Structure 1
Amino acid sequence: MLERIREGSQGVWAMGILGLVILSFMFAGVGSYINSSGATVAANVNGEEITLDELEKAYQNERARMEQQYGDAFATLTSDAGYLQNFRKGILDRLIGEKLMDQAADNLGLRVSDEQIKKAIVSMNEFQIDGKFDNDRYLAILRQAGYQPSTFRDYMRVDMVRRQLSQSLIGSEFALLNEAQFAHMIQQQTRDLRYVTVPASKFNDKVEVSEEQISTYYQANISQFDTEEKVSLAYVELTLEDLMSDVVVTEQELSDYYQQNINDYRTSEERQASHILFESSEDDDSVLALAESVLAKVEDGGDFAELAKEYSSDTFSAENGGDLGWFGKGIMDPAFEEAAFELNAAGDVSSVVKSSFGYHIIKLTDVKPEEVTAFEDVKDEVTTKVKTSKAEEEFYALQLRIAEVAFEMPDSLEEVAAVANKSIQTTDLFTRVAPPQVVANPKVVASAFSDELIAEGVNSEVLELGTNHIMVVRVASHEEERTKALDEVNQQIKSTLLAEGAQQAARDWILDVKTQLANNEDITAKLDSMELSWEDKTAVTRNEAGVSRSIIEATFKLAENKTEVVDLITGDVSLVQLMKVNEGEAADSMQITSIQTQLASLKTQNLYSAVIESLRAEADIEILQ
């Protein structure tokens, strides 16, 4: 049989069919590639994309910042799927605003030169040691943050251009003296009031809810009773840290690693030098002649520091006698660096050197020779690196084996757990927009709600969640999206209608009291009939802690002796009457200055928001995710 198949596959027709099959795969592959590209885009702003990776990175960064700042309070908020959805939408809106501002800056022709970026980087405290830029520290911090020098420069360029535009907005706003004085007067104002609160519960027995009302409410608000699709996951998770504790290293391995990587523990030679700069962008005989004459003065015993103060175009270093501080190779202009490192001993002075900045006279003031840190001093560091390397090898081998058993035995995670030497964990049911933190990764969520895992009940492929961090998941249980039936929410709707009816009855009762009060009628008996009485408050501020927020807001909108009916968040109703307005004390000059600053900042924020809204109104924005 196999022989016949082999013979048949050699014919012209067979080759033609094979060609069609290959073409179909080619076009299917190209089509899937084209169709899948859009899935990586969150939004399109005037033809420029905001990718899902950008959105996810910004979302995770902001979520981490909020969790660090607010702790359990934020965790409580994120348990609400609606809040998380709005939170994510806010992040995307911010990215769209930033993209619009970048485009506006480009249209205005705002630019930042390479030299400006270089100066900004050199002046950043994060990259300095003892007040001086340190190239090794700069590169180490970039590696730690996941940047290459080129990508960090691009980031700095975008950030500095944005700041150019934002500074132009900030610089145009100010607050007048009388604005600050008026704002202070309003802020310091207090009010005397009285209020009476009618508990809605007093009218519970007067409210009836029929089945027809419940049905009508259900039909009118049916979207409120839609459930989201939910899954719970079983998963096996493996990280490099899970393997580190079992890794054993020998002294020979540590010694070999140290010798093979000796350059990592070598401190390059550094030099301290002073210079006198004669600035010139091109070859200039007159500038060169001046430099040669000053060099002659130095060689004749002239004070280098004094000559630098007198002649150097580099005014910053000239104030310190031309001192440039310590620097290693790769920092200075190449021509300058070559000349500085050719000097042999402290006190040696170069000839006139031409660089891209002009002509220099360089004096070597000190040398830090190359040093190699002893093995014993870095043994702990070497041990960690060797253990990490061995653990990474084991991790990679386990990852391959886990991928095999997850595919070969798709109906269970038992074999995966056995290979990883980890237990199977499970989650509660969750929606797509509110996954538990342990599985709150886009790859995990996408896999969890995929048709393959839900319909076929198989294991996922190995999901790489980060460096040396993997997970295999399967759907443990699944709830489809649906609309709850009326009988499921009957009691919930009835409770809502009873509460609304009781509050409306309380409101109607207190409105009658308000009318009598406006007609100068005595309402004491009416209040007594409900066992109610006025509660007096004096000198209430806008931020009073002991009074309902709704009552305070109503109070500061009223004129003296006027009343207002207020619905409270508790479901009760209050009648509020303003008795007196108390003016605050006048502000001193420091307070006024502070208020002016705050008002200017508020105006700036409003202006920035207005600019963004204006740009949005004119932009072509397509939100894809």
Structure 2
Amino acid sequence: MLDRIREGSQGPIVRVILFLIIVAFAFTGVSAYLGGGASDYVAKVNDQEITRAAFERQYQNQRSMMEQQFGDMFNLLAADENYMRQMRRDVLEQMIEEQLAIELAGKIGIKQSSQVLREQIRQMPEFQVGGQFDNNLYLRLLNNAGYTPEMFRDYLQAEMSRIMMLQGVLGSEFALPHEIERMQMLQNERRSGRFATISVERFADQVEVTDEAVENFYFDNQEQFRQEERIRLAYVALDFNDVVATIDVSDSEVRAYYDDNPAVFASEELRSIAHILVEFGDDEDAAYARIQGIQARLEEGEDFADLAAAESDDMFSGEDGGELGRLERDSFDPDLEDAGFALAEEGDVSGIVRSEFGFHLVKLTELVPAETTSFADVEADIRRNIAQAEAERVYFELQQQLARLTFEYPDTLEVAAEELGLTIQTSPWIRRAQAPEGYDDPRLLAEAFSDDVRELDMNSELVELDRRSLVVRADDYESARIRDLAEVRNDIYAYLAEQQAERLAKEYAESLLAQLQAGEAITDENVAFRAIEAAPRFGGELPGAVRQQLFRMAHSDSATYAAVTLANGDAAIIELTHVMPGVPDAAEQQRFGRQIEGQRSELAYQALMEGLKSKAKIERRL
């Protein structure tokens, strides 16, 4: 397992989970994971408290990720108190398992080296600019999150130790060659025989459904006939795109905007710099002598990047030839900035620069002069932007008028429609759980089924959707109810008739099956067998129920038989005559092996956590 742990410290699972760590860090800040700023706790794992502040941040992080994944649909999930209560319990359980894994990693002595930690930090895209690690961005992000590099290092050490331990557990599972071969043989197995279907329609004229049976089914299954409340809306809609189409922008307006805003169309000068740092240490004079020596070697023709890699005390930038990235004001030490901006040509190197960190040599590695985009290149964009801005102003004014008019005249939409030139439209029937497309936005549904609209027959509040604003009122409404027997009688009759016909088809298929098993021939001319030739376990042209039953059947030296009901109600009888063992595919061996290992890894993780929880002292206070 230790070999797997060492390999896993650089493996893809670590990289994936590190990404998740950074996502959590971006949402919550590492301070949440370090347990600071909380007066109580939601759980205690052995002696380690999981603070309420940490839990709430983790919970909000989970909510945020689900909102990003599900969009507006998450609002419907969030309205379910039981669902959200279970989600909170799941988040807490996840945090408990993480703490147990960290403790186990500590007990068995798993720890990441400083060198690997440093390399992982350098590889995190959140700390990179243009694919390269940016030390200033790194420090700025840490500072914004309210903690030091040491705090982040300790946090990352704990998380990576946990990940390495889990990698050792999950990555230690394996599949033996004969197991992989056996699975391949089973999945690649093919079977032959024949089958015949007995159509349910043959028995339609034998069906007898009485009024009593219909009524009994109706009264015994009332909930099946419950109709959810539904509403049909009358509404007026203000569309932003319609407003944009009314805006006309003159050529003089476009030119005036270009002339009045020169900075908008001028690109700034871009500079990138690299440096070599010699820290003061205990002897500033010795440090100065050392930087002078490096400067002399540069003047003799040695490469700046090579010297930075070999001599710079800035270990992060030194490995990249001293590159610090884009030079901007207030992003570096002021002395470095002044030196970088003083360089005139790409490739120029400054004299010795003193900063609070030590002595530097600064090189201008990139210089892109400022440029101004021509009017012809941006004319269309300016026209579009002016039209967009004017449309937003007009749209906002119309929104306010629509809201005011529908509020002042709450029992009609006609006044607002006439004054604003809108058309009163009518929706199809809308149910909360099955709203038709275009009427399924949770914000619209909330207003449509509000008491004002549904019960008081008033206009709704203004509903702001994406580039549309609506006001709705009830055109017709039906409350939730059990549908009358007269409404559903025909449906019940059809259902019961179908059930009877399926039962008759199944009984007839079973009688034919008994004949085959007794060695008798089937004389019914309406029963025609179709050959099954080397059918695969997955896919193929066989009906799904036939294929599944075919591969469930035991094989013997003689033919075996079975009956099954198909998805459409037809019955089928199946004869299995031949089984062809699957042939292992060397090209698929790794995939099958990973499949087995993945299943076993999941079981191993569950077993590990169950074992740790059984031995730990866990107090939950959620």
TM-score (norm 2): 0.71
2:70 corresponds to: 59
1:120 corresponds to: 124
CA contact (8 A) 2:273 2:364 kept: yes
Question: Deviation string for 1:474-527 (max 9, x for gaps)?
Answer: 111112111112222222112211211122122222223333433x331x2xx3
Residue type at the aligned position of 2:546: I
Residue type at the aligned position of 2:495: T
Shift of 1:610: 9.3
CA contact (8 A) 1:45 1:96 kept: no
Q: Distance in 1 between matches of 2:607 and 2:484?
A: 45
Shift of 1:207: 2.9
Q: Distance in 2 between matches of 1:91 and 1:401?
A: 40
Shift of 1:53: 8.8
Residue type at the aligned position of 1:513: L
Shift of 1:101: 7.5
Residue type at the aligned position of 2:563: V
Q: Distance in 2 between matches of 1:385 and 1:248?
A: 12
Task: Within 5 Å, give how 1:570-609 maps onto structure 2.
Answer: 570-588=568-586, 590-601=587-598
1:13 corresponds to: none
- 2:524 pairs, out of 488, 505, 529, with 529
Residue 132 to residue 55, structure 1, CA distance change in 2 (3 Å)? closer
Shift of 1:416: 2.2
Partner SS, residue 422 of structure 2 = coil
CA contact (8 A) 1:349 1:361 kept: yes
Shift of 1:373: 2.5
Shift of 1:260: 4.8
CA contact (8 A) 2:101 2:166 kept: no
Residue type at the aligned position of 1:505: L
CA contact (8 A) 1:105 1:162 kept: no
Partner SS, residue 380 of structure 2 = helix
Partner SS, residue 438 of structure 1 = coil
TM-score (norm 1): 0.70
Q: Distance in 1 between matches of 2:278 and 2:528?
A: 88
- 2:553 pairs, out of 549, 552, 558, with 558
Q: Distance in 1 between matches of 2:429 and 2:167?
A: 48
1:348 corresponds to: 349
1:250 corresponds to: 250
Residue type at the aligned position of 2:589: I
After TM superposition, the structure 1 stretch with the greater mean CA deviation from structure 2, 419-428 or 608-617, is: 608-617
CA contact (8 A) 2:200 2:569 kept: yes
2:380 corresponds to: 380
2:35 corresponds to: none
Residue type at the aligned position of 2:230: K
Partner SS, residue 528 of structure 1 = coil
CA contact (8 A) 1:254 1:383 kept: yes
Shift of 1:569: 0.9
Shift of 1:249: 2.4
Residue type at the aligned position of 1:580: H
Residue type at the aligned position of 2:456: E
Residue type at the aligned position of 2:528: S
Residue 386 to residue 409, structure 1, CA distance change in 2 (3 Å)? same
Q: Distance in 1 between matches of 2:424 and 2:125?
A: 48
CA contact (8 A) 1:511 1:565 kept: yes
Residue type at the aligned position of 2:463: L
CA contact (8 A) 1:272 1:326 kept: yes
Shift of 1:614: 12
Shift of 1:547: 0.9
2:17 corresponds to: none
Partner SS, residue 556 of structure 1 = helix
Residue type at the aligned position of 1:242: D
Task: Within 5 Å, give how 1:23-38 maps onto structure 2.
Answer: none
Q: Distance in 2 between matches of 1:424 and 1:566?
A: 55
Q: Distance in 2 between matches of 1:45 and 1:307?
A: 49
Residue 108 to residue 394, structure 1, CA distance change in 2 (3 Å)? farther
Shift of 1:554: 0.9
Residue type at the aligned position of 1:539: A
Shift of 1:565: 1.8
2:371 corresponds to: 371
Question: Deviation string for 1:440-472 (max 9, x for gaps)?
Answer: 222210110111112222211222224x53111
Partner SS, residue 552 of structure 2 = coil
Q: Distance in 1 between matches of 2:338 and 2:72?
A: 43
Partner SS, residue 566 of structure 1 = strand
CA contact (8 A) 2:101 2:165 kept: no
In percent, how many aligned pairs have the same letter?
27
Question: Deviation string for 1:98-132 (max 9, x for gaps)?
Answer: 8457645774698xx999789634577xx74xx67
2:230 corresponds to: 230
2:509 corresponds to: 510
Question: Deviation string for 1:401-450 (max 9, x for gaps)?
Answer: 11111112222222322344332222110101222232222221011011
Task: Within 5 Å, give how 1:197-346 maps onto structure 2.
Answer: 197-278=197-278, 285=284, 290-299=290-299, 302-312=302-312, 321-323=321-323, 327-329=327-329, 336-346=336-346
1:541 corresponds to: 536
CA contact (8 A) 1:339 1:353 kept: no
Residue type at the aligned position of 1:579: T
Q: Distance in 1 between matches of 2:443 and 2:434?
A: 14
After TM superposition, the structure 1 stretch with the greater mean CA deviation from structure 2, 173-182 or 577-586, is: 173-182
Shift of 1:50: 8.9
Shift of 1:246: 1.8
CA contact (8 A) 1:292 1:352 kept: no
Q: Distance in 1 between matches of 2:581 and 2:297?
A: 75
Q: Distance in 1 between matches of 2:427 and 2:613?
A: 41
CA contact (8 A) 2:72 2:442 kept: no
Partner SS, residue 455 of structure 2 = helix
Q: Distance in 2 between matches of 1:297 and 1:581?
A: 80
1:182 corresponds to: 182
2:48 corresponds to: none
